[in-house]
Structure 1
Amino acid sequence: MTPQKHRPFGTVSQLPSGKFRACYTGPDGRKYSGPSTFFTSGDAHAWLRQEQKLIEWNEWEPPKLRYRSQDDANRTVGDWLRQWLDLQEKRLKPSTMANYRDTLDRRILEVKGKAGRLRDVPLVKLTRRDVVDWWDAITIQFGHQPYNRAAYVRLRTAMQAAVERDMIPTNPVDVKDAKKKPKPARKELPEAATMRAIVDQLSHPHKLIGILTFFHGMRIGEVLGLRRKDFTITEDAIMVHVRGNAYRTANGMIYQDTPKTSAGNRTVPVFKAFHEDVRAHIDTIPGDSPDAFACVTGTGKIILDTSYRSVLDRAKKRAGVTAKITPHYGRVWLITTLVEQGMTIPAIGEILGQVDLKTITEIYMRTSEARRQEALEKVNEALGDI
């Protein structure tokens, strides 16, 4: 009896390009091709032999699933975080993206020490224990800082995105301590005289920043993003139009033509006590372009927010001020002062570009000691008349 010839497994065909394509019919009756074309016929046949062995050993699965499994096995937490950040690029503002990247770099992607181990864990093997170890490590290394929780929130969001893509079955980012939102430090109400003493120690071009942040409730990024055309100056009034925002990157301050929040696009009236200072500053802006930035260095670049804070610290020392006062404290002072003068909370929110009115009432608004004592005395007098 003539022995049957062994039927070859799969086929190899040459393409017009000169390369070779390998195909075969799998155990499920479907046809499968190699992951790419091959330069030689020998390479194509070698791939077919490898596929045939997997079938014989009962270890076969469709090539695309197998290659995806290999990709998943090789993908680390750091790989996925970088990919996730790239996915946010078109969705978020440049300033927000810079914050996201900086936060994850500081606490996961570029952090040193034990905390840095998290980025090298294979994504499919990430466990809650790995996340807890990371959280403990950054707490020991950095203390209880807002950056820690911000990184935790970004990590949890990125892992949830991985769950939605069927890359991992569940989200392992679940740390009880990290869920607790830190209570914001109470900003004590600064006295107007104290802030004025500090501003008087500032010189051009930093004095304008002090005036607009301390006494007009503007955010420092909003002030640094101001251009000549954002000032409307008449004989009796000066208006500042907030249209954009400047934020810090590794290459310096970058301007974006949208404010920090949706409510940030607004007009801020300047108090008459500062008209002379503002007019003097506008006269010193280099060039005649309406787009010329108002707060620049000698080389024409937007002043770094960190540079201004250093200048402000030196001005505080010269003014003899030891209490903690940052540019953001001006929002506390302005909100409280306007409330005491009878302005409504919604109207104050419009001036400060604060859409969350609850923040105004619960965090920013304070009562000065003088006003508090005055109110108590009026109640006492009323009680005496009963």
Structure 2
Amino acid sequence: MARKRRGFGRLRQLPSGRWQAAYVGPDAKLHKAPRTYASEHDAEGWLAAERRKIDLGTWGAVERSDGVTLRRYADRWIEQRALRTRTQSLYESMLERLILPELGDAKLTALTPARVREWHAGLGTKHPTRNAHAYALLHAICATAVADELLDANPCRIRAAMQTKRRRSIDVLTPVQLDALAAAMPAELCASVLLAAWCGLRWGETSELRRRDVSADHSVLHIRRAVTYRAGRFTVGEPKTAAGSRDVTVPPHLRPILAAHLREHVGRGGEALLFADAGGTHLRPDRYRAHWEKARAAIGKPRFRVHDLRHVGAVLAAQSGATTAELMHRLGHTTPQMALRYQHVGEGRDAEIARRLSKLAVAG
């Protein structure tokens, strides 16, 4: 069929009814669209995108990226991001262990959906969460390459590859079990268990708490920092999320315990850590873990993790009637979905809800 004249490029409708687009590039050569289009509008869209590349001076970037390997681009991707120390170490570890051994020497332009699927299948099925994180990292790197116009499209297209199902159920301790767990810890660490649980703190937030972060009446914790430990070094920075900087109200029953801890186990200066080693510096995770493993075994919960304390606190807060917005604030979450994960129905809770419903019915 006849070609349509245009200011830039040309369109031609094929006998099949589909549309073909082409244009003469800055190199004076004819460039055809990589495929035909079902509508004239879609074909025009491809021409418009090519014209935009010419106008921005990025035309031919994909061709020029032929020599750029994933390893080289990933290194640059890491360098250009303001990542937390622990996050950067995690990304570098995933790249070196899971991504680059198979794909590192591949040219960016050689990363096809088929090759990515083959790599992903090679990761196996034993570690779904690890695989999802590695795939998400590769997807993010390739998405930036698309934005940089080094790739025409993201080759990471495996449906649901970044999603995982929780394989491990988390125990929700009762207040009695929580007290027993705390009592099984050394006296100077007992309050760390109770604060982490009842205030919904991350381990990095708990271990960076200082005397100046506690209000004078012991009713509020000012969460402004968190500490990470990596490769033998402590790094103090902001909390994990923007919402992580927050003021958390200490439950009234816990305030006398906090006051006693400050009096008996914490230095007088405002910078004194609430939970420190013998030298007054941050307590190493492995040393805390040694006490933790004994304590959890003592209450019959040998798989209960330190981070699960935060989960317990969130569930208890939800059971007390906290709304999603209130949970988001208390836990330092940025999205409702994260807070909603903790709104479980604890053992026996449904019966309590039913009892309250009947009470409403009688009162009404």
TM-score (norm 2): 0.71
Q: Tell me the secondary structure at the aligned position of residue 201 of structure 2.
A: coil
**Which of 316, 327, 333 in structure 2 is aligned with 1:354?**
333
CA distance in 2, matches of 1:195, 1:300: 27
Instruction: State the structure with more CA Rg.
Output: 1
Do structure 1's residue 108 and structure 2's residue 76 form an aligned pair? no
Q: Is the 8 A contact 2:197 2:311 kept in 1?
A: no
Q: Deviations over 1:297-318 (max 9, x none)?
A: 2344422345434432221112
Counterpart of 2:81 in structure 1 is 88
**Partner amino acid, structure 1, of 2:236:** Y
Q: 1:74 to 1:188 in 2, by over 3 A?
A: same
Query: 1:372 maps to which residue?
Result: 350
Partner of 1:315: 295
How far is 1:285 from its partner? 6.0
What is the match of residue 182 of structure 1?
Answer: 164
8 Å CA contact retained: 1:241, 1:268: yes
Q: Taking structure 1 as reference, are residues 203 and 357 closer, same or farther at Cα in structure 2, changes over 3 Å only? A: same
Contact 1:225 1:293 in 2 (8 A): yes
The amino acid across from 2:306 in the alignment is: P
Structure 1 residue 73, shift from structure 2 partner: 5.0
Residues 1:250 and 2:194 are matched in the alignment: no
1:264 deviates by: 1.7
Deviation at 1:284, TM superposition (A): 5.7
| Distance in structure 1 (CA, Å) of the matches to 2:309 and 2:110 | 48
Give the % identical residues: 23
Distance 1:342 1:353 in 2: 18
SS in structure 1 at match of 2:123: helix
Q: 1:86 deviation in Å?
A: 0.5
**For 2:113 and 2:288, how far apart are their aligned partners in 1?**
42
SS at match of 1:354: coil
Task: State the distance in 2 between where 1:288 and 1:377 align.
Answer: 48
State how 1:1-386 maps to structure 2 within 5 Å.
Answer: 72=65, 74-89=67-82, 92-109=83-100, 116-139=101-124, 143-176=126-159, 178-179=161-162, 181-184=163-166, 185-234=168-217, 237-256=218-237, 258-283=238-263, 288-322=268-302, 324-361=303-340, 363-376=341-354
- Amino acid in the other structure paired with 2:262: I
Secondary structure of 1:241's counterpart equals strand
Are residues 331 and 169 of structure 1, via their aligned partners in 2, closer, same or farther at CA, if it must alter by over 3 Å?
A: same
Change (3 A) 1:297 1:139: farther
CA apart distance, 1:247: 1.9
Amino acid in structure 1 at the alignment position of 2:301:
V
* Unaligned 5+ runs, structure 2: 1-26, 28-60
Name the CA distance, whole Å, in 2 between partners of 1:176 and 1:357. Answer: 24
Q: Kindly state the Cα deviation for residue 149 of structure 1 after the two structures are TM-superposed.
A: 1.1
Partner amino acid, structure 1, of 2:175: A
Structure 1 residues 339 and 152, CA gap change in structure 2 (3 angstroms): closer
Is contact 2:196–2:313 with CA below 8 Å preserved after alignment?
A: no
Q: Which amino acid aligns with 1:79?
A: R
Give how far 1:102 is off. Answer: 3.7
CA offsets 1:16-67 (integer angstroms, 9 cap, x no match): xxxxxxxxxxxx9xxxxxxxxxxxxxxxxxxxxxxxxxxxxxxxxxxxxxxx
Distance in 2, Cα, partners of 1:166 & 1:346: 39
> What are the Cα deviations for residues 142-199 of structure 1, in whole angstroms up to 9, with x where unaligned?
x2332221121111111122233333333222223524x1133553432111121111
- Do the aligned partners of 1:72 and 1:123 also contact (CA within 8 Å) in 2? yes
CA 1:172–1:337: 2 relative to 1, 3 Å? closer
State the 1:214 CA deviation.
1.9
Asked if 2 retains the 8 angstrom alpha-carbon contact of 1:131 and 1:172, the reply is yes
Residues 343, 155 of structure 1: alpha-carbon distance in 2 compared, 3 angstrom cutoff = closer
Kept in 2, the 8 Å contact 1:78–1:119? The answer is yes
SS in 1 for 2:179: helix
Distance 1:209 1:155, change over 3 A: same
| Residue aligned with 2:304, SS | coil
Query: Any idea what SS the aligned residue of 1:372 has?
Result: helix
Q: Which moved more, 1:93-102 or 1:261-270?
A: 93-102
Shift in Å at residue 250 of structure 1? 1.7
Give the drift of 1:286: 6.7
Deviates more, 1:370-379 or 1:264-273: 370-379
RMSD: 3.3
Mark the CA change 1:376 to 1:279 in structure 2 (over 3 Å): closer, same or farther: closer
Q: Distance in 2 between matches of 1:301 and 1:95?
A: 19
Give distance in 1, aligned partners of 2:357 and 2:213: 46
Q: 1:168 to 1:285 in 2, by over 3 A?
A: same
